[in-house]
Amino acid sequence: MSPRGFATGLAELVLIVEDVPPAADFYREVVGLEPEVPADEQWAWFFAGAPDQAQRIALHKGSLLFEEHSPHPEGQRFGNVHLALEVPRDRLDGAVAHVRTSTEVYGPTRFDWMQATSYYFYDPDGNLLEFWSKDP
């Protein structure tokens, strides 16, 4: 079996944030993700697709398992990330308009090679988010 056959999908993505409750509010109210469970001071878990899928996004304050083994210096072990979320084309304009009520949105950016259009914005912790939408 080739290494390409080992992973069959995204299980979870964890973003390190400064303050979980307001970050969770942003991801719920602005980005539009559905919470899996109520947020607490350390963790917030969201579905990254339909609730029957195994894909999840978590927000966390503090260190993660095995962080002490990172090759990066303390305080820089986990940096800002870029996260692209797929939005169906018929919902894209509404999603972008909604995000614009809370933060600046950049784009659209057209990707002919992917036959898709994207809009970008930052969360309160400086992570770059993207609403990615393939052509109908």
CATH number for 105: 3.10.180.10
Helix and strand numbers, DSSP H then E, in the chain:
2, 8
Residue 34 lies in a domain: yes
Instruction: Give Cα 122 to chain centroid, integer Å.
Output: 10
Q: How far is CA 90 from CA 60, 93, 95, 133, 136, in A?
A: 32, 7, 10, 9, 9
Residue 71 lies in a domain: no
Q: pLDDT-based confidence at 6, cuts 50/70/90?
A: low
Rounded to 5 degrees, φ, ψ at 18 are -75, -40
Average confidence (pLDDT) over 25-46:
96
Split into its structural domains, the chain has a count of 2
pLDDT tens, 75-94? Answer: 776 667 888 899 999 999 99
The domain in which residue 131 lies consists of 80-136
State the Cα–Cα distance between residues 128 and 131, nearest whole angstrom. 10
Regarding whether 96 and 51 lie in a shared domain, the answer is no
State the Cα–Cα distance between residues 17 and 62, nearest whole angstrom. 8
Please answer whether residues 19 and 62 qualify as being in contact, where contact means their C-beta atoms are separated by less than 8 angstroms.
no
Regarding whether 121 and 96 lie in a shared domain, the answer is yes
Within the chain, residue ranges assigned H as helices are: 20-25, 89-100
What pTM did the predictor assign?
A: 0.82
Please answer whether residues 134 and 115 qualify as being in contact, where contact means their C-beta atoms are separated by less than 8 angstroms.
yes
Regarding whether 102 and 55 lie in a shared domain, the answer is no
Regarding whether 89 and 30 lie in a shared domain, the answer is no
Average confidence (pLDDT) over 63-70:
75
Regarding whether 114 and 57 lie in a shared domain, the answer is no
Average confidence (pLDDT) over 14-40:
95
